[in-house]
Chain A
Amino acid sequence: MTEGHDEAARQLVAQFGFDRSRLMDIVQGLQRRFGHVSDDAVRSIASALRIHAVEIEDMVSFYAFLDRKPRGRCRIRLSRTPVSMIKGMAAVASAFEAALGISVGETSSDGAFTLEWTSDIGMADQEPAALIDTTVLTALVPDDVPHIVAALRDGRRSAGVGPVLPKAGVRSSLVQPGPLLSGGHDNAAGLQAALCREPVKVIEQITASRLRGRGGAGFPTGLKWRLCRQAVGEEHYVVCNADEGEPGTFKDRLLLSEFPDLVFDGMVIAGYALGSRHGVLYLRGEYAYLLDDLQAVLAKRRQLGRLGVAICGTIGFDFDIRIQLGAGAYICGEESALLESLEGKRGAPRDRPPFPTERGYLGQPTAIDNVETFACVARIMEHGAAWFTASGTAESTGTKLMSVAGDCKRPGVYEVPFGITVNELLDLVGAADAEFVQVGGPSGQPVAPKDFGRRIAYEDLSTGGSTMVFGPQRDVLEIVLQFADFFVDESCGWCTPCRVGTTLLRTGLRKVIAGQASLEDIATMEAVAGTVTRMSRCGLGQSAPNPILGTMRSFPHLYEAKLRADADISGFDLDKALGEAIKVQGRQPVPEEG
């Protein structure tokens, strides 16, 4: 049944040099070819790598885009986020169900299609969007669906679907450029400027710019680089975190598709500053459609001497970049989980210390920075630290790329100076009647109109850039429930408070929305949320309760309105509870007397 899997697995293991740490590439090769990683393949990999099958199963079963059992030959994944839902995804999903004759979550009987939901795919500005294998289709309407399915049935593989619906291609999403995104980016100006300095002077310049990590956590980049450079190791690594998984953000997608050289320049500059020879760009699986273009950019850079040996003629500075494709796991955006994933393991975060700057990829000193951070680095080297600190606030220098989507007239990427208020941003994007803004994605903060005067900056509303705008017609609690679903789906499961707590929070929220919760239930939810926040191992768990806790504070009336009328009595519906037993046994209970 799984003929050829054994041989293919052995070939892939050999192709990746019998290297255990390249397990991700090995199993992805099998997934691409056979649609799943079979038992036979697992056994072959295990024997070829001399590891146990249970280790491979551990890794493969962790990722949403890897399968242990065969599913449909064509995978249709529909992005399910609050933004996709308000843009009409439910109707698109129904159209797919009708056209394929299956429900979401099922595989067609001929094995041709699997239709399923997936978390955000980085297209919030162009929802409803779908991933068909690795092809992205955007701005779908139900009428598009029959054409898509017909094209797929015609035997034209998913790659041929794009041309069928040219309007559904990924559009450029840059609405407002600023200093970072103005001017050329493929002339290596920043890189040339960096190579004229001593490596430590490069770090000094970055420190002087007071650049902080653009992923959201805001760690000072100069300090990170100094610690990494000082750490002793056989090799130093530069890792670009392009696992842009926070729902609602797509600014890294923009940088990678329209300003890739700026990002790669930043990585090469980091390599020079840290004394590193190896860079890795970890690209989220959802962005696989960018892979060929990015590889072409890297190839061109090698031709131009901007990558490889003696970069730009600098004798002794050799640096190259490889791209590692992820496989569908939000947690891999967390830097230590990303490292585990890079090493071919489940994406479970690590305990710190040691920090990645000391012991990172393959146990060596590693600097992991966001895509946007590297772009900033290149510009800082090009224009100088003073140019950079001229915009922003005291603690948040420079500009920030904001991904804005939802109920607004002009969704897209805006380059704005740090310190801009939520109100000012809403004016820019055309969202005068916003009732609820989620700043920083599900793990960020829900902001109510009374707080629209707050500033976007590390010292106030810290954000990686995701901004979801919701108008007065939206159901806030339904949106919060979708965030709760997201965290249940994306918790890695390693630690108890996050693994179980996110599930309990969703259960509690469902109870509230169903109108079955008492005041005591709300208090219980709040207590669970607090425990998850305080006791979880990494940022995912620590921030997972934010939408619930934040809306409890900002929109308490919405919770109050849902409380049971007899809220102080905790009871249950006896008839409903007995319903299943009555059905199974086929007899009614004896009515109570009196």
Chain B
Amino acid sequence: MDDATIRFTVDGIEIEAVAGQTVIEACDAAGIYIPRLCHHPDLAPAGQCRVCTCTINGRNGAACVTPAMQGMVVENETKPLNDDRRAIIEMLFVEGNHPCVYCVASGDCELQALGYRLGLDAPKQPYLWPGRPLDTTHPDIILDHDRCILCSRCIRASRMEDGKTVFGFEGRGIAMRLNVDAQGGLGETQMAAIDRAASVCPVACIVIKRDSYKVPNGKRRFDVSPIGSDIEAKRMPRT
């Protein structure tokens, strides 16, 4: 063990991290799943959805943007935190238009999967029913703004991975929307269906045309195993 090793506990379990890792990265490596939505392992964290909020040394902070520190005490799998996380998922469901029943991403959608994992049966909050346009200007991609949860994964991927800056936000507050780098819609941007930005969307906002239902309903990622089980599978049973 060298000096660079950081040790801290998550729900009483001691884990190790290396300098520069965030709490969520260290936990992923250690096989401890912290629910998250806007975080993606290949992208710089943005701290937008707040689902990964943990109680860290007594204060709430998003695990995706909090650096791992020696001796920190992290609470993750607690009822109050999961209640708040479920409330956030509920907020995202009512903010947009999310008809899971006939959505192309059903079973492959991280929002839906987190709803299931956190026990959200049906939203009790009033739906906001936003009137958002569908952008079909691109030959290979549909941009369904109804489903957008403003996680900024596509924005970050387009900037960092693709070097294109196809996406950005516009507006503020409840009026904030995903915007594209062209007046005429996605079709006028540099976007390509093979871009990283197209594959990181956690919901069905960015949909590749002619690609749906290749994997039938019932056999998709989260139909097979709950969200987070891939990370939890990494954790060796304690002997």
A residues lining the B interface (CB < 8 Å): 39, 51-55, 57-58, 61-62, 329, 346, 351, 353, 488-497, 499-504, 507, 524, 527-528, 530-531, 534-537
Query: In the assembly, what is the distance between CA of A524 and CA of B45, in Å?
Result: 31
Residues in chain B near residue A353, CB distance under 8 A = 67
User: Other CB < 8 Å A-B pairs besides A495-B48, A496-B48, 10 of them?
Assistant: A54-B168, A58-B179, A61-B171, A351-B65, A492-B173, A494-B47, A497-B91, A499-B176, A528-B125, A534-B60
Question: A57 and B150 in contact (CB under 8 A), knowing A492-B172, A495-B49, A503-B174?
Answer: no
B51, B91, B94, B179: which contacts A54 (Cβ < 8 A)?
B179
The yes or no answer to B4 lying at the interface (CB within 8 A) is: no
For B93, the closest partner residue in chain A by CB is A500
The yes or no answer to B14 lying at the interface (CB within 8 A) is: no
Task: Please tell me if the beta carbons of A58 and B170 are within 8 angstroms of each other in the complex.
Answer: yes
Question: A57 and B170 in contact (CB under 8 A), knowing A52-B181, A528-B87, A536-B50?
Answer: yes
Task: Please tell me if the beta carbons of B173 and A52 are within 8 angstroms of each other in the complex.
Answer: no
Pairs across A and B, CB under 8 Å, 29 listed: A39-B183, A54-B165, A54-B179, A54-B180, A57-B170, A58-B168, A61-B179, A62-B172, A351-B65, A353-B67, A490-B173, A491-B173, A493-B172, A496-B49, A496-B91, A496-B92, A497-B91, A499-B95, A500-B92, A500-B174, A502-B173, A504-B125, A524-B125, A531-B83, A531-B87, A534-B60, A534-B84, A535-B88, A536-B50
For B89, the closest partner residue in chain A by CB is A496
Residues in chain B near residue A494, CB distance under 8 A = 47-48
The yes or no answer to B133 lying at the interface (CB within 8 A) is: no
Task: Please tell me if the beta carbons of A503 and B128 are within 8 angstroms of each other in the complex.
Answer: yes
Residues in chain B near residue A499, CB distance under 8 A = 95, 150, 173-174, 176
Query: In the assembly, what is the distance between CA of A476 and CA of B49, in Å?
Result: 33
- Which residues 60-97 of B sit at the A interface, judged by CB distance below 8 A? 60, 62, 65-67, 83-84, 87-88, 91-92, 94-95
B residues lining the A interface (CB < 8 Å): 45, 47-51, 53, 60, 62, 65-67, 83-84, 87-88, 91-92, 94-95, 124-126, 128, 149-150, 165-176, 179-183
Query: In the assembly, what is the distance between CA of A504 and CA of B179, in Å?
Result: 24
* Most A CB within 10 A of own CB, among B62, B124, B165, B168: B168
Question: A495 and B174 in contact (CB under 8 A), knowing A504-B91, A527-B87?
Answer: no
* Most B CB within 10 A of own CB, among A52, A346, A527, A536: A52
Question: Taking the nearest CB of chain A, how far is it from the CB of B92, in angstroms?
Answer: 6
Query: In the assembly, what is the distance between CA of A494 and CA of B150, in Å?
Result: 8
Residues in chain A near residue B149, CB distance under 8 A = 496
Residues in chain A near residue B182, CB distance under 8 A = 53
Residues in chain B near residue A496, CB distance under 8 A = 48-51, 88, 91-92, 95, 149-150
Task: Please tell me if the beta carbons of B47 and A493 are within 8 angstroms of each other in the complex.
Answer: no
Query: In the assembly, what is the distance between CA of A389 and CA of B149, in Å?
Result: 50
Question: Taking the nearest CB of chain B, how far is it from the CB of A346, in angstroms?
Answer: 7
For B164, the closest partner residue in chain A by CB is A52
Question: A531 and B88 in contact (CB under 8 A), knowing A57-B168, A503-B128?
Answer: yes
B125, B150, B172: which contacts A346 (Cβ < 8 A)?
B172
Residues in chain B near residue A502, CB distance under 8 A = 173-174
Residues in chain B near residue A57, CB distance under 8 A = 168, 170, 179
Query: In the assembly, what is the distance between CA of A351 and CA of B22, in Å?
Result: 13
Residues in chain A near residue B125, CB distance under 8 A = 504, 524, 528
Task: Please tell me if the beta carbons of B171 and A535 are within 8 angstroms of each other in the complex.
Answer: no
Question: A488 and B169 in contact (CB under 8 A), knowing A52-B181, A493-B150, A501-B91?
Answer: no
For B169, the closest partner residue in chain A by CB is A58
Residues in chain B near residue A500, CB distance under 8 A = 91-92, 94-95, 128, 174
